[in-house]
Structure 1
Amino acid sequence: MNTHKNANKQGEKILLGGVAAAALGLINAKPQTVKAANQNGTRATKKTARRAVKTKLNYQSETGSETEGEAADDGHTVQNNSSQTAGSEANTSTSSSAPETGKEQTGANSNPASGSSQDAITGNTSDPSTTDNTKTEKLGKAVKRDNENPTILTGVWLGVDVTYQPGLGIFTVKGNNQTINTVNDRSTSIIQAKKSRDLLADPLIVDRNQVREVRFEGPLTINGTVQSMFDTLPNLTTVTGLENLNTSNVYSMYGMFANCSSLRSVEGINKLDASKVTDMSYMFENCFENSKDLINLDLSGLNIGLNINKNDTITMKEMFRGCSKLKSIILPDKIDTSQVTDMTGMFYGCSNLVSVSYPSSDNPEDPANQKVDLSKFNTNSLKYMDYMFSGCTRLTTLNIASFDMSKAIKTNGIMNALNNLPDLRKLVLGKNCKFYRNDTNTNVGLDTPGTWVNVGNGTEKKPQMSKKWSSIDLMNNYNGETDHDTYIRFYDGYPVKIHYVYLDKEGKRQPILDKDGKSYDYVVAGDNGKTSDPINTRNIYGYTINSIFVNNDKQSSTDKVAVTFTDQEQNVYFVYDRATGNPITVNYLYYVDDKGHTKPILDKDNKPMTEKVDGVLYGDQKDIIPKPIPGYTIKQININGATQPGTNKATVGYSEKEQTVDFIYTKNQNNNNETNKVKAADVTVHYKDEFGNTIAPDEILSGYVGDGYTTGAKNISGYTLKTRPDNATGFFSTSPQDVTYIYTKIDTNNTPNINEPNTPTKIPKENNRKEKNKKEKKKNPIKQTTSSNLPKKQGNSSVAKNQKTAALPQTGTNKHSSLAMLALGSLTLIGALSAAWFSRKKIK
């Protein structure tokens, strides 16, 4: 029995627990629509977690990716990286901010750099720590030791006997009237020059750092190229016997002495023949850098360009680039540069260069003769001269009067050609010199401080000075046709520009021009730190001085100013106001007879038609248009008594004197026929009290121009006339006219209200108002609203309806409350059924 009761109690607990759980579930349940909306919102805002993905990297050796062969040439831009070695790719750059260094040299036959070096024949690489015996073993079978002198190595280079003394670093070429053909024909010479180093890539020299002297003993003819003949022998100091070389059939001297940084003496170089050479680029690049003494280079025998085919072009790109210790160069008297297209960086970085001359010139060692004279250069074909003289910091005189820079301007190949020349004091310029290209804003980069003046008809010590320009102005303003001359940097200070300006309608400064259309501007110059003489205001017709500015600083004086010269350009502005001419009198006249006598045309007040027009600002003009006058036709215009062509306008300019414009008309013929008369504007007659209120209807009179009109006062009840208008009678005209009679009220105690309308407004009776309101209510019934302050006339049903509406919750709200009530009701019902069931069990 107890077991049975316990089971019943256990069942009761389970049943009641289930009911409670169900109730709680119903209470916490949410409507499906709301739940779905929340889920969507979560998806839209939650960020997706990302996993890191490992990427497989493929590595490739730099050495394996390099290729041998000819490097790309950028055409004319100065290059970087002067110490390129064999097998490396050419390093070029197109940067305009700084020139490049070096040259493109690649190829399997290229000579190695200092340090470890590769034998051009055997391919062996030397170790600087090895002994001479080890080196000899690596040289191969072609190399032998001299039996008489074991310290000398012997061998054959391109069919010519050569010797080398490693201990002394002396390399000797035993010429014996032999001929070396480095290329088969001329058509391949330039390609060959760009791909390989033709000479001294021999089996004897292993460590190129040890070579100190090269000797040529006996005649030797070379056909083709001498490409990089001595390139990258950093400790080579002396070359002798070059007069034994016949180079009359050499087409390329590309990089011949490049990177011989210790070279001090090249005997016989003045005997070399370059008459057929088309490529002299990089020929002496970075030479003489480590020389103890300044170098004078004699190239008087080169005969440049004398035997070039008409279709060939010559390049001298970076020929002397980086020769920082080179002091003077002697060029051949016989030189033809008319087929040279590229002189990019030709003298770039020659920081000690002071003289380029010819054998017939005076001694270049004399400081008085130190100048870079390129007056024999023909540059008709020159396309590229970027950085040509840039960095020649000791250069004082430059003569480029023969230069034709028209093609270089077109190819934009003038960039920084005259940049960084701080000591330059004399510049000789010709008709075809051009320094600035407007569309690309490219110029030669002349930045030498100070003031350039032209010598003109004077001397260098006392120049004419009709032009005073800063370096920037010289580049921007130079016109070869009119400005070719010798220019001297006469002052260390920058010029001061004097401007005479006026302010236009927008407040901008505009130059004042003279009668020939030229400005009054000029330039004063002086040495840095010195003060100029007083600069005075100029009296200019039509202008009055307003103020003076030095740069942006307004001065207290308006008559003169003094300026201290500096290392910067300065500007002085004399600011003027334009003067205004006297007023202009305009008369309207008509002819009265055939003799030209005139009378004034009368206006509506029977007065002569005339007017005053404001005067004209100096430099401006004013057009005055004649008025159309009914009954008259314009026939003539006179300005200050002078007849003007045409009759449509009078154009008047500035004058300090009074001016007169006469518009002369003729009367139209009417023959007493009204059809020929001109309809006049109406005359309106007004009747008003003294407060401006209309007390009688207006009257309108019509007629023809020139006819008379008459008006009169009216008898108005309760009013008496106070003022009769002056124009009560008059003549009709083309302009509307008003005639106003003023009255006063007879009863002065009842002064009318000026704000009171003439016609009083009727006030509707109360009954009429109520009746009107009833009709409006029928037409426009009052709409139901949800306001709690509704009038009782709307009825109880309306109020109840509104209350019921207000009691309803908004859609989707309070759903938890509804579900909770449902759950509690269900719980109560289930509890009642359970109690009844338990009671029944007990009864049983």
Structure 2
Amino acid sequence: MNTHKNANKQGEKILLGGVAAAALGLINAKPQTVKAANQNGNRATKKAASRAVKTKLTYQNETDTETEGETATNDDPAGQNSGSQTAGSENNAGTASSNPAGGSNQDAAAGNTSAPSTTDNTKTEKLGKAVKRDNENPTVLTGVWLGVDVTYQPGLGIFTVKGNNQTINTVNDRSTSILKAKKSRDLLADPLIVDRNQVREVRFEGSLTINGTVQSMFDTLPNLTTVTGLENLNTSNVYSMYGMFANCSSLRSVEGINKLDASKVTDMSYMFENCFENSKDLINLDLSGLNIGLNINKNDTITMKEMFRGCSKLKSIILPDKIDTSQVTDMTGMFYGCSNLVSVSYPSSDNSEDPANPKVDLSKFNTNGLQYMDYMFSGCTNLTTLNIASFDMSKAIKTNGIKNALNNLPDLRKLVLGKNCKFYRNDTNTNVGLDTPGTWVNVGNGTEENPQMSKKWSSIDLMNNYNGNTDHDTYIRFYDGYPVKIHYVYCVYPDKSDNLKKQPPILDKDGKSYDYVVAGDNGKTSDPIKTKNIYGYTIKSIYVNNDKQSSTDKVTVTFTDHEQDVYFVYDRATGKPITVNYLYYVDDKGHTKPLLDKDNKPMTENVDGVLYGDQKDIIPKPVPGYTIKQIIIDGVKQPGTDKATVGYSDNDQIVDFIYTKNPVNNENKVKAADVTVHYKDEFGNTIAPDEILSGYVGDGYTTGAKNISGYTLKTRPDNATGFFSTFPQDVTYIYTKIGTNNTPNINEPNTPTKIPKQNKKRKEKKNPTKQTASRNLSKKQGISSVAKSKKAAALPQTGTNKHSSLTLLALGSLTLVGALGAAWFSRKKIK
């Protein structure tokens, strides 16, 4: 019996052990993955669980029912790569959101995920029509604008954009947007703003990046007074700000606008058109952060057309220090109608905040590419100082693009002009239209309080006469009265008032007229303007405008609000009478005696003087028994003997005709040809009048050198003495100018400059990768691998665990079978 009991107990134990082994094997049969530890020995794996935040983008009948389009957004506002997992989807653990702007678009029910890199414009436009009242505050409307949450409080007129490190892509096709700039507008959410007249304030809360355009964003919000938070906008990739604030006529404050970045903007036209008109205070606009033109493509052009047009309450503008306008082609009407504008400056300007010295300083503008600047400053009626010294108006001249650029500036007192400034083309119909009354004078070497005044011009004369190469200067409108032009003319046409402007001007020895300008304040009388003593002319009459004056000595004028002219009219003067003497040679020493007439009196006559600018010829009379040999005018020997040519002189003039006696008893002699004596320099130039010797064939002649001032004799001719013959002879004395050096040989080549040889840079040999480094690396890698393998051996591997489990299951099963068999045999034996 005990044996039987023991056998039963032993069988039960064996049976229990087999069941336990089988159960252990089954438990271990389920595979697991055990991650290997890192090199630091930390084997713990942290699993980040992110909540799926659902943002409602569309609404139905103001209920809380979620519709299609619900999106799961990343809980990390900084855009870190934290995990995001949708409930019920096991395989998307560790999937990061790729769209911090609008979240990764997901269908939570289906468990499908998508992570677009940009906002779907079509979808955004569709979703932007959703409007809902806030449950907690029914007076607040909520919705979406370009994919960003916005709210609007109609009662207060407050529109809020809630950015959260989001990005808006307003357009996909840049070229399309530019072509449709006037049609495509990024207006603030129209569905929320039913009546745009009610909007009074716009707030930007949280960071927001805008790519594309912000054109017409605030367009036509007539009662908008305040914009805040613009510093939260990143516009570094915006290329159009067309009409951004246009027609915001009540706008007074734009906080953060100095932080906007316009470095890639190519279209700023109409950006502030008709802004600030209804503001009670004058506006100071700080645009110092725009960085205009700094990141523009080389082939792009910029337009600033009518950028500030009609901003009648705009007082001052601060432009960025870093500004590049070299690619600006159009500034038409840029400041047109800015009637209170007195200052345009830069943050680094000394006078940016100096109310005592306001000025419009565009000296940093590069206008090499500017083609249109029509009406650019027209209507800036309070403008006092304008600096456009850097302006190059060449292209604008060619395109007729300067019309009325400086029109209607009644308070302008100072104008700074540069070398490339131009104010006319070929006629006055295309000029800049400068019509400011008064007299402009140049500062020159003087000061603004005491200018040089070498030029005194009216506005019209400044436009017509200005030459950038010679006239670039600072011009001050020094007098309120218009200048009076003083003219010196000589009477060619009949001396009638209607012909005064036709009379040619009198010119000085340098070919310049004597005309000048006097100026003074309106209503004041000028100092006496006196007649000039001009060589060759004599005063005839004086006219003030068309009125002939009684005096021919001096005149005074009263300055008015229009230009006036004073004409000093001259006739050409007649020179003093000319005395003509007839003389003959007494001897070879140059002594002369007068020839006697039939009354035995010296032959002489007086000839009327010559009119200034004219000349007359006096022909020598034939005298029996004498032959003309020399003509001398006022002590100067003339080259010929046929006539004396005399011009005007206001001194007495004397002409001497000198004769020689004809030889006596020369019946058997033959008249010889003349011997001409020449006096020349070594270059063949005549430096003294020729002398002609006459005689008979066979007679001897003698010539001699002359003392010629500034010259010394170089060569005495071989035929200085000789005999008359039947053939003409020439005797030439050659002189050298005193004090001259030998002319250098300009064809002699210059010694070439030796250029030092430059040491050739040695080619740097590339150092081959040292094997020791690779060996060390291999050693380190080997050690690391061994360490890893050892540590890995200490842990159960996935395959190994599976194997062990199956073995245990088999052993348990065999043990169970053995126990059952043993029990069966025991019972059988007992029985």
Against the structure 1 CA distance between its residues 650 and 392, is the aligned structure 2 distance closer, same or farther, given a 3 Å change threshold? farther
Match of 2:525 among 528, 531, 549: 531
Distance 1:428 1:162 in 2: 49
Q: Which residue does 1:295 correspond to in 2?
A: 283
Question: Structure 1 stretch 497-506 or stretch 529-538: which is displaced more?
Answer: 497-506
Instruction: Indicate the percent of aligned positions where both proteins have the same amino acid.
Output: 90
1:343 aligns with 2:336: no
Q: Which residue does 1:324 correspond to in 2?
A: 312
Task: Report 1:120-519 matches (<5 A).
Answer: 142-200=130-188, 202-362=190-350, 364-439=352-427, 441-504=429-492, 507=495, 508-519=502-513
Distance 1:649 1:147 in 2: 121
Distance 2:621 2:177 in 1: 90
Q: Residue 475 of structure 1: SS of its match in structure 2? A: helix
Distance 2:662 2:301 in 1: 85
Against the structure 1 CA distance between its residues 424 and 636, is the aligned structure 2 distance closer, same or farther, given a 3 Å change threshold? same
Q: Which residue does 1:641 correspond to in 2?
A: 635
Deviation at 1:572, TM superposition (A): 1.9
Q: Which residue does 1:622 correspond to in 2?
A: 615
Q: Which residue does 2:546 correspond to in 1?
A: 552
Distance 1:596 1:615 in 2: 29
Q: Is the 8 A contact 1:625 1:648 kept in 2?
A: no
Deviations 1:608-663 (A, max 9, x none): 99876542222x03142758989999876533331234677654321123334456
Deviation at 1:668, TM superposition (A): 12
Distance 2:145 2:493 in 1: 84
Deviation at 1:289, TM superposition (A): 0.9
Q: Is the 8 A contact 1:385 1:417 kept in 2?
A: yes
Amino acid at match of 1:539: N
Q: Is the 8 A contact 2:576 2:608 kept in 1?
A: yes
Deviations 1:259-278 (A, max 9, x none): 11111111111110001111
Q: Which residue does 1:543 correspond to in 2?
A: 537
Match of 1:576 among 570, 573, 589: 570
Against the structure 1 CA distance between its residues 646 and 347, is the aligned structure 2 distance closer, same or farther, given a 3 Å change threshold? farther
Against the structure 1 CA distance between its residues 177 and 616, is the aligned structure 2 distance closer, same or farther, given a 3 Å change threshold? same
Against the structure 1 CA distance between its residues 363 and 463, is the aligned structure 2 distance closer, same or farther, given a 3 Å change threshold? closer
Deviation at 1:364, TM superposition (A): 4.3
Q: Is the 8 A contact 2:127 2:144 kept in 1?
A: no
Distance 2:138 2:529 in 1: 86
The answer to which structure, 1 or 2, has the higher relative contact order (CA under 8 A, 6+ apart) is: 2
Distance 1:464 1:357 in 2: 28
Against the structure 1 CA distance between its residues 659 and 218, is the aligned structure 2 distance closer, same or farther, given a 3 Å change threshold? same
Amino acid at match of 1:532: S
Deviations 1:418-455 (A, max 9, x none): 11111111112222222222356532111111122222
Deviations 1:748-804 (A, max 9, x none): xxxxxxxxxxxxxxxxxxxxxxxxxxxxxxxxxxxxxxxxxxxxxxxxxxxxxxxxx
Deviation at 1:283, TM superposition (A): 0.8
Distance 1:341 1:628 in 2: 79
Distance 2:371 2:660 in 1: 74
Deviation at 1:141, TM superposition (A): 6.4
Task: Give the count of matched residue pairs.
Answer: 543
Against the structure 1 CA distance between its residues 217 and 564, is the aligned structure 2 distance closer, same or farther, given a 3 Å change threshold? same
Amino acid at match of 2:234: N
Q: Which residue does 1:778 correspond to in 2?
A: none
Q: Which residue does 1:727 correspond to in 2?
A: none
Q: Which residue does 1:822 correspond to in 2?
A: none
Distance 2:406 2:249 in 1: 25
Distance 2:482 2:403 in 1: 23
Distance 1:446 1:634 in 2: 69
Distance 1:602 1:499 in 2: 52
Amino acid at match of 2:301: T
Q: Residue 482 of structure 1: SS of its match in structure 2? A: helix
Q: Residue 204 of structure 1: SS of its match in structure 2? A: coil
Q: Residue 576 of structure 2: SS of its match in structure 1? A: coil
Q: Which residue does 1:84 correspond to in 2?
A: none
Deviation at 1:389, TM superposition (A): 0.8
Q: Which residue does 2:561 correspond to in 1?
A: 567
Unaligned runs of 5+ in 2: 1-120, 496-501, 672-831
Distance 2:527 2:651 in 1: 37
Q: Which residue does 2:746 correspond to in 1?
A: none
Q: Is the 8 A contact 2:283 2:315 kept in 1?
A: yes
Against the structure 1 CA distance between its residues 218 and 647, is the aligned structure 2 distance closer, same or farther, given a 3 Å change threshold? farther
Q: Is the 8 A contact 2:128 2:147 kept in 1?
A: no
Match of 2:647 among 653, 664, 672: 653
Against the structure 1 CA distance between its residues 162 and 667, is the aligned structure 2 distance closer, same or farther, given a 3 Å change threshold? farther
Q: Residue 180 of structure 2: SS of its match in structure 1? A: helix
Against the structure 1 CA distance between its residues 233 and 658, is the aligned structure 2 distance closer, same or farther, given a 3 Å change threshold? same
Q: Which residue does 1:133 correspond to in 2?
A: none
Amino acid at match of 2:652: E
Q: Residue 473 of structure 1: SS of its match in structure 2? A: helix
Distance 1:218 1:666 in 2: 117
Q: Is the 8 A contact 2:576 2:650 kept in 1?
A: yes
Deviation at 1:552, TM superposition (A): 1.3
Q: Residue 504 of structure 2: SS of its match in structure 1? A: strand
Deviations 1:691-748 (A, max 9, x none): xxxxxxxxxxxxxxxxxxxxxxxxxxxxxxxxxxxxxxxxxxxxxxxxxxxxxxxxxx
Distance 1:645 1:299 in 2: 81
Q: Residue 395 of structure 2: SS of its match in structure 1? A: helix
Q: Residue 396 of structure 2: SS of its match in structure 1? A: helix
Against the structure 1 CA distance between its residues 666 and 343, is the aligned structure 2 distance closer, same or farther, given a 3 Å change threshold? farther
Distance 1:515 1:594 in 2: 41
Deviation at 1:407, TM superposition (A): 2.2
RMSD of the alignment, in Å? 3.7
Deviation at 1:394, TM superposition (A): 0.5
Deviation at 1:456, TM superposition (A): 2.3
Q: Which residue does 1:80 correspond to in 2?
A: none
Deviations 1:374-433 (A, max 9, x none): 111112222221111111001111111222222222222221111111111111222222
Amino acid at match of 1:317: K
Distance 2:182 2:638 in 1: 80
Distance 1:371 1:664 in 2: 78
Deviation at 1:464, TM superposition (A): 2.3
Against the structure 1 CA distance between its residues 615 and 162, is the aligned structure 2 distance closer, same or farther, given a 3 Å change threshold? same
Distance 1:604 1:473 in 2: 68
Q: Is the 8 A contact 2:618 2:646 kept in 1?
A: no
Amino acid at match of 1:271: K
